């Protein structure tokens, strides 16, 4: 609005004031928004082409009896889902995958936390980076090298464990991959070793975010190391523990390890859910039914992650 003030000479001088900060006009706002959309558009297009479209196509094919080799596609409605629920292999392989997941989580998270705490407590400036590199090295090894190495380690006659058994005077070494009771834990041990460094790195990041004052105050009050870990470190690390737990859900879709190491044996002891779905897709050419397995596995993983997230929020509150 316009007002008037009196100058020293007595003349009236109009003064223009505004009631608020001047807002950019619609054209400038549109240009800013358009610039943002242009930057985001390539990512949205790539996500649509390589993520959302394949996902939608996979869900779509679950309603068909589709054969790639015969090039036939027959609409069957929810028959694939009904067959999945009634198939004994569904629950057998799912149970195998759940057991592997539990072995894998315990075998990687517990040692990973202990090792991360030990590295975090090192006083020297160079040692932590050296140990981080050593433990992370197996993560970057090619899978073929890891599998070949562990096939030799587990070999009941010429492997490393066989030589250790001879050294201590044992009659024979267990057949780690040939015994139905040992095959699945043996695969879990291999995977835990392979991805231990990844777990250690995540926990080290979490430990670096914990204020040192908390630990020093607890020590001043006379708390021991075990009590500090249980009462202070683990509660403050819960977001990182949850992150590692969610990442380990990948174990439910395990395919490569049992396919290369045991071919699902002995007597289906390592036939995981992912391996069965893989064989339905590639060996039996039941594309629609195999996609049903994959889609429902994704649902199971999302539900598990959601439940874990709720538990984390309730724990923090």
Average pLDDT for 74-89: 94
**Pair 57, 85 in one domain:** no
Number of domains in the chain: 2
**Pair 181, 218 in one domain:** yes
- What's the rounded Cα separation, in Å, for the pair 148 and 309? 37
pLDDT at 211 over 90: no
The answer to whether position 11 is within a domain reads no
DSSP string, 171-237: S----TTTSTTTHHHHHHHHHHHHTHHHHHHHHHHHHHTS-HHHHHHHHHTT--HHHHIIIIIHHHT
The answer to whether position 269 is within a domain reads yes
> What local confidence, expressed as pLDDT, does residue 316 receive?
63
**Pair 49, 86 in one domain:** no
> What local confidence, expressed as pLDDT, does residue 5 receive?
53
> What local confidence, expressed as pLDDT, does residue 132 receive?
82
pLDDT tens across 140-162, in order?
Answer: 999 999 999 999 999 988 889 88
**Pair 105, 215 in one domain:** yes
Percent of the chain's residues with pLDDT above 90: 50
pLDDT at 179 over 90: yes
CATH of residue 92's domain is 1.10.3720.10
Average pLDDT for 9-14: 53
**Pair 53, 151 in one domain:** no
Domain span at 166 = 79-316
Average pLDDT for 238-246: 89
Quote the mean pLDDT of the chain. Answer: 86
**Pair 186, 154 in one domain:** yes
The answer to whether position 160 is within a domain reads yes
**Pair 142, 194 in one domain:** yes
The answer to whether position 66 is within a domain reads no
pLDDT at 58 over 80: yes
**Pair 291, 233 in one domain:** yes
The answer to whether position 40 is within a domain reads yes
Please count the residues of the chain: 317
Considering the entire predicted model, what is its pTM? Answer: 0.83
pLDDT tens across 102-141, in order?
Answer: 999 999 999 999 999 888 887 556 667 788 888 889 999 9
Percent of the chain's residues with pLDDT above 70: 90
The answer to whether position 309 is within a domain reads yes
**Pair 176, 239 in one domain:** yes
> What local confidence, expressed as pLDDT, does residue 134 receive?
86
Residue 212 pLDDT grade (very low, low, confident, very high; cuts 50, 70, 90): confident
- CB count, 10 Å around CB of 121? 11
Residue 270 pLDDT grade (very low, low, confident, very high; cuts 50, 70, 90): very high
Of the candidates 61, 88, 116, which is a domain's last residue?
61
pLDDT at 227 over 80: yes
**Pair 55, 86 in one domain:** no
**Pair 55, 198 in one domain:** no
pLDDT tens across 32-46, in order?
Answer: 777 878 888 889 999
pLDDT at 302 over 60: yes
**Pair 274, 308 in one domain:** yes
**What SS3 state is found at 3?**
strand
- What's the rounded Cα separation, in Å, for the pair 131 and 123? 13
The answer to whether position 1 is within a domain reads no
The answer to whether position 74 is within a domain reads no
């Amino acid at each position: 609005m316009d007002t008037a003030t009196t100058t020293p000479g007595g003349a009236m001088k109009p003064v223009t004031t505004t009631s608020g900060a001047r807002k950019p006009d619609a054209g400038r706002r549109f240009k800013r928004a358009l610039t943002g959309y242009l930057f985001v558009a390539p990512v949205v297009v790539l996500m649509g082409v390589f993520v959302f479209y394949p996902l939608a196509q996979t869900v779509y094919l679950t309603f068909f009896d589709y054969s790639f080799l015969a090039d036939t596609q027959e609409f069957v409605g929810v028959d694939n889902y009904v067959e999945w629920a009634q198939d004994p292999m569904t629950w057998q392989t799912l149970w195998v995958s759940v057991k592997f997941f539990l072995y894998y989580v315990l075998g990687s998270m517990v040692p990973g936390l202990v090792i991360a705490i030990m590295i975090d407590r090192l006083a020297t400036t160079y040692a932590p980076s050296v140990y981080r590199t050593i433990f992370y090295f197996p993560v970057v090894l090619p899978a073929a090298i890891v599998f070949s190495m562990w096939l030799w380690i587990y070999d009941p006659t010429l492997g490393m464990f066989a030589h250790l058994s001879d050294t201590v005077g044992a009659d024979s070494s267990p057949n780690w991959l040939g015994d139905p009771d040992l095959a699945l834990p043996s695969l879990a041990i291999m995977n835990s070793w392979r991805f231990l460094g990844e777990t250690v790195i995540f926990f080290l990041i979490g430990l670096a975010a914990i204020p040192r004052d908390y630990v020093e105050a607890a020590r001043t009050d006379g708390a021991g190391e075990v009590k500090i870990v249980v009462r202070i470190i683990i509660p403050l690390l819960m977001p990182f523990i949850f992150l590692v737990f969610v990442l380990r859900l990948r174990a439910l879709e395990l395919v490569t390890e049992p396919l290369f190491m045991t071919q699902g044996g002995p007597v289906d002891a390592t036939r995981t859910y992912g391996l069965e779905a893989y064989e339905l897709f590639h060996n039996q050419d039941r594309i629609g039914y195999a996609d049903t397995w994959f889609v429902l596995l994704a649902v199971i993983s999302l539900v598990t992650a959601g439940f874990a997230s709720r538990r984390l929020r309730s724990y923090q509150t």
